[in-house]
Chains A and B, each alone.
Chain A
């Protein structure tokens, strides 16, 4: 058990270090960073000043090392555009993205769990096929387009919900739905296949043979076993949702972390871009770590392998 956790932690640390390297290398992709910061109208003298003041004249290895040390202390650099710490900018926008991500996850679970269970109980029948068809159709839906359509219908034609903004909870209804909807197909498939396996197992036959009602068997015995992978995938899914929120946030003009990232990319605000990429990656790494640990605690079989 301890060995499993240690291995898993080591992997997470290695991945984290690699992501740090990649996000550092990213901003060097554009060639000379000092020229990019200075802008098209800068003179050579301006570029030299910037190169010196940002420490870009130091060897690359030194720059990387100092960036890693700073990042480890929570200092992700200063924004060129806002003249504030990138970590503060992310912190300010985090509540919006978290609300969006958690709301989206809730929507996804509320839709996919019952439908997945229902499909599994009717495996191979018309209900199952209809539900699986919904999954295929949902997978083909471009999320940003779905968002725009819902804005037209609910925001404009019906006037029920605001079309943008994060001032009230009503502004989150459509974005959460769209984000949640995008995760429904995979979560639904997973619930279904987990339930199908569970329903076919020996302990279900035993429970049925004891004369327990169908509802008790499905909800208490089968679901408990089928839910495990769903719970751990939900953590991973939340990570995907938080990092995928950039599209939804820009459709609904929600000032979240993804929107900040997009805005910084279009304005060449490199430190913030770097910080957002790193931040979302770290969240994802922590969520998958959590999911794996949870799985190992719940299912002793996994620890052995």
Chain B
């Protein structure tokens, strides 16, 4: 019972993530319409199953008459890209810091802990908003900003797991065999903590996707007319009182994708025997 339920949520999570990846890669083939083409005669058409809906626009159209389903499908590109790129970049920063601190200890570790504490003290969303506001909004700026701010969990987990691994016998054996420091770091330590980092990566990807949506919602993320799901919610906000579905559709999509990634992450954690926060 326990195992099957867990497997079910992991499978569901994997399915959702794969589906989003599929949409992101094949968006031009899957989208029924051009996501950027406006049609002012066909504004705010409700989804097909509601009164006044049409089969031509299965999830309806937005305030500029753009096809909602097509925008959602193209929006998957933004979310998946944000999730992947942020995790790769912040993973590199955080893992490097954490492994160095955990491996060398002493002064090095003091410096790493100081950097982590400083990062935690900086009001995250406000800082991201400020950077984007000052430099100007674009997908690249959002990815870089999130990457520079989201590495601390990688660092914390890499540090504590490296500390545990460092004392194990096979590391002592590697020292005794005359292996160099870089060799031990790359070939002995890293492979033995990587499963913890993979789990962190799923959590951070989910967080990055949520944060991009929040930044775009506040008007300082991905700039219009790009179909970011957060931006879609912001643009639809003025119409939500009369047609609640305009915020339901992109919001639900965002929620389901993030839930899927979290399910997958939880499943991976059980399979890989990793810790959540360490």
Contact = CB atoms under 8 A, between A and B. Distances in A.
Interface string A19-41: 10010001101100000000000
Measured as residues with beta carbon below 8 angstroms from the partner, the interface class of chain A is 35 or more
Given A285-B121, A288-B120, A280 B213 contact: no
A170 interface: no
Nearest to B124: A243
Interface of B is mostly: helix
Interface string A255-299: 000100110011010000100110011001100100000000000
A18 B263 contact: no
B126 A280 contact: yes
Interface string B208-239: 00100110011110000000001001000100
A139 interface: yes
Contacts of B130: 26, 261, 265, 273, 277
A52 to B, nearest CB: 23
Contact of A144 (B123, B131, B217, B241): B217
A156 interface: yes
Given A19-B121, A140-B206, 17 more contacts: A26-B127, A133-B9, A139-B206, A140-B262, A142-B255, A145-B247, A148-B237, A244-B124, A247-B125, A247-B218, A250-B218, A258-B126, A262-B218, A266-B220, A273-B133, A281-B121, A281-B122
In the A-B complex, the 9 residue pairs with the closest CB atoms: A243-B123, A140-B259, A145-B251, A265-B133, A280-B123, A140-B258, A30-B134, A29-B134, A18-B118
Interface of B: 2, 5, 9, 114, 117-118, 120-127, 129-131, 133-135, 206, 210, 213-214, 217-220, 230, 233, 237, 240-241, 244, 247-248, 251, 254-255, 258-259, 261-263, 266, 276
Interface of A: 11, 14-15, 18-19, 22, 26-27, 29-30, 124, 129, 133, 136-137, 139-145, 148-149, 152, 156, 189, 243-244, 246-247, 250, 258, 261-262, 265-266, 268, 273, 276-277, 280-281, 284-285, 288
